[in-house]
Amino acid sequence: MSSGGGTPKATGQSLSSAATAKDRIVALIVSDPHDDIEGINLVREKMSQDGIHVDFVLCPGDITTMPNKDYTKRPGDEELGVFEKKTLKVLKALAEIAPDPSRLLWIPGNHDPLTLFQEAKAGTQPTNINPEILNGNLHGKVVEIAPQLMIGGWGGCVEALEDGKQVWVPYPYPEAQLKDRIKALESILEKGLKTNGDNPGSSSSSSLLLMTHSGPDLSSTVKVTGVDPNSLNKPGLRSHIINSGSASLSRLLSSPMIQKSCILSMHGHTHQGMGLARVGGVPILNPGSILHTGSYSLVTLRKKKQTSTTEKSEHKEGDKPIHNYKGPWYVADIRTLFLERNANDA
């Protein structure tokens, strides 16, 4: 991890192995735990009771509860000590659901230590986080998790606006800076998508998953319409909607290459925006907050079976692909579930 300032160097790496060299992958998405280890353990118990075995655990940020700080300043001892330790505890709990720690992939949110971002001004890496778990940090990275299946990540949030006024602060960079900073990720995504074929979306190319903390501003999943940003069922509407999404992420998703290759974009941050939407042809999933809405998602991915040289494919009976472009992978199923603990909030 880089600890200097400036634009991060997005990198590509591979997690492909015999474990993922198959035509079906199940991913558990747990977002915005905010130190809710109890909730994570309840998810683990539920997975065990139902006999569900996941291949990957994904966490789109807000792992802990650190107050937002000025990102231009070196983090203080409290942040580096207390909140890194809290982050590690949560990541360890999530890693216990995964087949092994390398199958936990995550990004930092706006309540996570600055040292988890490559733009950190501190002169050191996190000192309290297990290196194996730390390697799962996808901020500014692209990883191949199975043959012809990549995932890219970007953490943090931009400012949220209500009636044209800022109501939630950006961290660690505002929208005005994100456009240039995210170019590194865009570049590595385009390079990776072209690696296996010059025709994005074809069976010879790669399919793409995106995981960000804040979502694209064009999606309904970044809008807070209710009076309580942390509740799904409290009656009442806000006088003005809070939009917590990023225009830069919308531009990234709007590019022709991403539109043809991205089979799912996931984000957290906006607890009350939990749900499924689309930006163009790309499905957008916000699983909600395991702490506040008690919700999490299970996503099943399948690899298409080639039946001819004309790229016809067959799916198992009952599968209705959520994304129908010609890439090698598709989303066969998305389920968002609720903890019984939060049943009254569902």
- Cβ(312)–Cβ(319) under 8 Å? no
For 102, the 3-state DSSP assignment is helix
From the number of C-beta atoms within 10 Å of its C-beta (0-12, 13-18, 19+), residue 117 rates as buried
Position 70 confidence tier, pLDDT thresholds 50, 70, 90: low
For 55-66, the pLDDT digits (tens) are 999 999 999 998
Q: What is the pTM of this model?
A: 0.88
CA dihedral 203, 330, 262, 56 (to 10 degrees): -120
Q: Mind listing the pLDDT tens digit for each residue in 84-128?
A: 889 999 999 999 999 999 999 999 999 998 888 865 444 455 555
More confident residue, 18 or 248: 248
Evaluate if residue 9 carries a pLDDT over 50. Answer: no
Confirm if 154 and 139 have CB atoms less than 8 A apart: yes
